[in-house]
A and B are shown apart, each in its own frame.
Chain A
Amino acid sequence: MYTLTPLIVLYAIIPVILDGVERKLKAALQSRIGPPVAQTIYDLLKLVLVKEIKTQPTILYVYLSLTSSIVTGLASLYYITLYALRGDQVDMFYALALFAITTSTHTVTPLIVPNPYSFIGGIREVVLGVVNEAALITSISLYTIMAQRSVLKSTQWVTIIAVALVALTAFIASYVASSRVPFDIAEAEPEVASGIFVEFSGSVLALNIYSLLLRRLIVKLLVLAPTVGLLYGFSLTGLLVVLLLLPATWVTYATVAVILGRSRVDVAPLTLAKIYIALILISITVLLVQAYA
């Protein structure tokens, strides 16, 4: 466990740097120069140093929920790393359980803030989360189970299709969980004036933003680890491949976010639910067919 400490430190820093890269890429796609890559670091530092404006007394609970979100997030990353090194599926289930705690503590935070915008943003996140978390956990669990090298060696094309479908579902769910356009309806600026972020300032806002960035890191590693395990294998080099693929994945997600517009809370969850149910049902059917055939 102690040898992995430097890696945990790396995990703590990577999302902030990659967010800076994402903003620079977004600026390039919008034909502008954009902020320097270290801008997110500067932002978080400034927020920590600036005077906080306490507008209501629930701030203590908010600190608790956000801190627990970050701590469980880092723990989840630890277990994903173990899975990538050893290929033991139990590690992945621990990681998923911890991730569920991370997301729920982060989602509950705006609901305890007495501000209508915050509440609306929080409810939107809950509605979207209910649909998406279920799909995320189901699809990644299935993916983990199916992600063994022996699967690829199998000549049954049905198996490969089933695995591909489950992987697709996992990637879509992972994108939705990363709270980017078109699914950033919780913090929509035009209608709810920054929704879940509206009452926060200073170090609480820094924690909130950091928790969000950490979540983006976790959801990408959650899908990258089984993919690399499936195509390459579970070892130290496998872990390195995962870490190398991470920036490319982040950039792809960022590009998708720039070219799309924001969805609506009554449209997005329904559409997503339909897609997920369809994909998961098809892949389970395929697996059953293969099992009985």
Chain B
Amino acid sequence: MSHKPLKLIIIAGSKGRVTVKYPYQEPLITPEFRGEIEIDPAKCIGCGACVKACPPNALELLESEKEVILRYFVGRCIFCWRCIDVCPVNAIKGTRNFELATDKHTDLYTLVVHTRTTCEICGKPFETTRMQRYIAEKSPVTEEYASICPDCRKRLLAETVSARRVGISEHKE
């Protein structure tokens, strides 16, 4: 029987105690750690890019007549931060917060509520006000064009093309 097993005592002595009395002491996380996200409601335009990228559907877009709600349910979040990658206006910020347990399940939901604009022509609601403003700023379209819903835009385009082909407008009274 060799003496090597006894070396354990020396190793344990030199290393000391490595366990930490969490939660009475600080948890060991590095600055790189990915925790929950925070959505800045002032910047969010309600485009839904984060919803499309989110693998477990923690971010959802709930649509009703007058408003569009971006709902973040931290219970499903896998802290991958893909939403932060794809947000066009950098409205989402990552934190190092992971101590999220609570006894009120409503704490787990964050809602960002957006108003919707209605189409100039058909009156149906189609996108958020902020998104409309964002498009008008960023892309070379007139504000008039940006306030028409996609269905009406398609119809207008079809009409214009057919008018050019036939020479008369379909809707001539």
Contact = CB atoms under 8 A, between A and B. Distances in A.
Nearest to A258: B8
Contacts of A29: 8-9, 12
Contact of A33 (B5, B8, B12, B19): B19
Interface residues of A, number: 11
B5 A31 contact: no
A259 interface: yes
Contacts of B21: 33
Interface residues of B, number: 11
Contact of B16 (A31, A255, A258, A259): A31
A30 interface: yes
A255 B15 CA distance: 17
A31 B12 contact: yes
A98 B120 CA distance: 100
Task: State the majority secondary structure of interface residues on B.
Answer: helix
Give the dominant DSSP class at A's interface: helix
B5 A259 contact: yes
A30 B9 CA distance: 9
A260 interface: yes
B28 interface: no
Contact of B17 (A28, A259, A260): A28
B18 interface: yes
Nearest to B21: A33
Nearest to B7: A259
Contact of A32 (B6, B8, B17): B17
Interface of B: 5-6, 8-9, 12, 15-19, 21
Interface of A: 27-33, 255, 258-260
